[in-house]
Structure 1
Amino acid sequence: MNTIVLATNNAGKIRELAAMLAEQVPDIRVLGLSDFPMIKDIPETGVTFEENARIKAVAVAQATGLVAVADDSGLAVDALGGAPGVYSARYSGEGATDEKNVVKLLDALAGVPDAERGCHFACVMLAATPGGEELIGRGAWQGRVTWAPSGSGGFGYDPVFFDETLGVTAAQMEAQVKNARSHRGLALRDLLRGWPEFWKKAQLELEK
């Protein structure tokens, strides 16, 4: 009853989200998709972060019979018209990796001055029960794309996302600092505002 499933195989996301959830929801047990090998890849066919988060959360909740939490997030760069956006994880095409995505992004911004390298990380986090109850949280983190990667922490575009308030990239931040500022942390805190009522409904549903 106190178990939820994070609808992702991304070890970085699982680590960050599990840590943040544990701070807010005592005694909660957090699993990832690796704990459910029968669940195959879930096509992210949505054109918005919310659509993709809903697709993943609903599919995993129905497959496991547990509450599932999915997030869809990405980097939106002003000079690129909001790209890579929902395609952030697969920006560099088939076989995309964090490193390849970063290289493609920096190539796309070659010659673009600092003043025009504004961007933001966006995240939509959605919790779903097997019976169809939903809870949504949203978050955005403003920053600027650097000229080269810096820092060894985090994952994804963190090494080239510069937080102008703190003067470091997301990959240079300690985990606690990043969680306090990040789009994912903001989305989770937004989600958790409605969590008590949602969790109560979920418990009643699962008891039936």
Structure 2
Amino acid sequence: MIMKLVFATTNSHKLHEVRSMLPDLEIVDLKSIGFTDEVKEMGLSFEENAYIKAKAVYDFCGIPTMAEDSGLCCEGIGGDPGIYTARYGGLPVDHDRNMDKLLSALNGRSRKAFFRTVACFIMKEDGEETSTFFDGEIHGEISQEKRGNGGFGYDPIFIPEHHTTTFAEMLDEDKASMSHRGRAMLLFGDYIKKFKL
């Protein structure tokens, strides 16, 4: 049975990635449900930001909703950019500017890093609204320069553990099989199998 849920994102790359990871689900985006409000991510953690987004969209449509917040955490600069990953180089969001700022900040420092995704899923279960969280991480390091044309965001500078290529140099399916988002979605996929939405 195909189950329907809203993925609270306007990021077409994330939507494509999640749809490919969860092919048994009918996943619709914010545009599909007419949600146009800007949700301010004012949380102090990935969990809080994922919940804020999921709750706003769920309250709008009443359809089971999943939202996620992801970020890159670098050892050499105290865990930054963390929850500020998307806007690390300033607004409007510019991936090249973000990567350039990070490469400069890590000059002469530890390049160990990890990507983290926290997904929040909100639905009604036995008449009660529930929220459940799914966490995925991938450890690695930041390259010395941008490499590769695939992926999005920081993919051209992140090299996962036990690899020599960046996410941007990998095939999409290879990246998805090991990525932070892939790991969180695997947990979510296992969880959602027990429900008929």
Equivalences for residues 57-206 of structure 1 within 5 A: 57-112=54-109, 116-129=110-123, 132-197=129-194, 199-200=195-196, 203=197
- TM-score, normalisation: structure 1: 0.87
**Aligned partners of 2:93 and 2:105: how far apart in 1?**
16
Give the match's secondary structure for 2:22: helix
Give the match's secondary structure for 1:47: coil
**If each structure's helix is expressed as a fraction of its own residues, which one has the higher value?**
1
* Corresponding position of 2:17: 16
Structure 2: which amino acid aligns with 1:125? A
**Aligned partners of 1:34 and 1:103: how far apart in 2?**
32
**Aligned partners of 2:91 and 2:173: how far apart in 1?**
33
**Does the aligned pair in 2 maintain the 1:75–1:120 contact within 8 Å?**
yes
**Aligned partners of 2:186 and 2:3: how far apart in 1?**
19
User: How far does residue 34 in structure 1 lie from its aligned partner after superposition?
Assistant: 2.3
Structure 1: which amino acid aligns with 2:112? G
User: How far does residue 89 in structure 1 lie from its aligned partner after superposition?
Assistant: 0.5
Aligned-CA RMSD value:
1.5
**Aligned partners of 1:61 and 1:78: how far apart in 2?**
35
* Structure 2 unaligned blocks of 5 or more: none
**Aligned partners of 1:102 and 1:6: how far apart in 2?**
26
* Structure 1 unaligned blocks of 5 or more: 204-208
User: How far does residue 38 in structure 1 lie from its aligned partner after superposition?
Assistant: 3.7
User: How far does residue 192 in structure 1 lie from its aligned partner after superposition?
Assistant: 2.4
